[in-house]
Amino acid sequence: MPPNSRRPLALVTGVGRRRSIASSIALGLARDGWDLVLNFWNPYDDRLDLDRGDDDPRAVAEACRDAGAEVTLAPGDLGDPELPAQLIATRPPGGRVDGLVLSHCESVDSSILTTDVDSWDRHFAINARASWLLIKAFAEQLPEAGGPNGSVNGRIVALTSDHTAGNLPYGASKGALDRIVIAAAIELADRGVRSNVVNPGPVDTGWMDEDLRTAMIQATPAGRLGTAEDTANLVRFLFSDAGSWINGQLLHSNGGLQTS
């Protein structure tokens, strides 16, 4: 817990659907004693047309409140370069954001030959530029030279992916995200920041068909697909005191998929 036993505050992006990794992370952090700012952008989820209810962000917020958290819903398009600083500013007067979970994304399948410039630019605006601006605004509200003797003042976890061929702008922009988040572990060390990237592997949040689901299970040594809760449990650990020694890493939480 931060000084004076105040409840820590985390900003979690990408909380547009109950059936999502971000929503599971938010609920897990609420159970661990974190208050929350939840960002989402309904037009993106409308465009994806995946499984969701009439007002999933509000349902997620209510579940987190039932777990004891104070929750602020903060909708907005992270393609707007002004929004990241505005989201970080959504905190109590005199308070600060202690944790940042980057679970938002732009993802539209296309290849080298079929990607257009507008799609390429939007992928990088959402997945890379917005992540940099969120981390920048997050760091700026932390005390300078605030991490002596290994103390932790801020925690960052971002979600990434292995996708490349057939999903080129998504994969390329996620690669940029990885570098930004790992750089934060070094560049923001004097502010007591711990910063890591998590690759959750094959997690079916509504985007897999039956053939892909079967193929991913067969390719995973653990013998099953990942769940949103699997990733949430890792993020909760990284946000805990027990996870403070892990820093500047790209962690594969994928049931051994890469070893198959």
Residue 207, pLDDT score: 66
Quick check: 175 pLDDT over 50? Answer: yes
Residue 54, pLDDT score: 82
Tell me what the pLDDT averaged over the chain comes to: 90
Q: Look at residue 134 and give its three-state secondary structure.
A: helix
Number of domains the chain is built from: 1
Domain housing 40: 3-259
Q: Which CATH number belongs to the domain containing residue 25 in this structure?
A: 3.40.50.720
**Euclidean distance between the first and the last CA atom of the chain, given in angstroms as a whole number:** 40
pLDDT band at 202 (very low <50, low <70, confident <90, very high): confident
The stretch 192-200 carries a mean pLDDT of 96
CA atoms of 239 and 196, how far apart (whole Å):
10
CB under 8 Å to 176, separation ≥6 — which residues? 124, 127, 128
Both tokens of 146, joined, read 């605030």
Please write the tens of the pLDDT for every residue from 98-123. Answer: 999 999 999 999 999 999 999 999 99
User: At what angle are helices 168-187 and 130-140 packed, to 10 degrees?
Assistant: 20
Residue 12 has φ and ψ, to the nearest 5°, of -120, 125
231 in Cβ contact with 198 (< 8 Å) = yes
Please write the tens of the pLDDT for every residue from 14-57. Answer: 999 888 999 999 999 999 999 999 999 999 888 877 777 789 99
CA atoms of 244 and 246, how far apart (whole Å):
5
73 in Cβ contact with 38 (< 8 Å) = yes
pLDDT band at 260 (very low <50, low <70, confident <90, very high): very low
Higher pLDDT: 15 or 211? It is 15
CA atoms of 11 and 15, how far apart (whole Å):
10
Please write the tens of the pLDDT for every residue from 212-252. Answer: 677 777 777 777 777 889 999 999 999 999 999 999 999 99
User: At what angle are helices 228-238 and 21-31 packed, to 10 degrees?
Assistant: 50
Residue 13, pLDDT score: 98
* In the chain, % of residues over pLDDT 70: 92
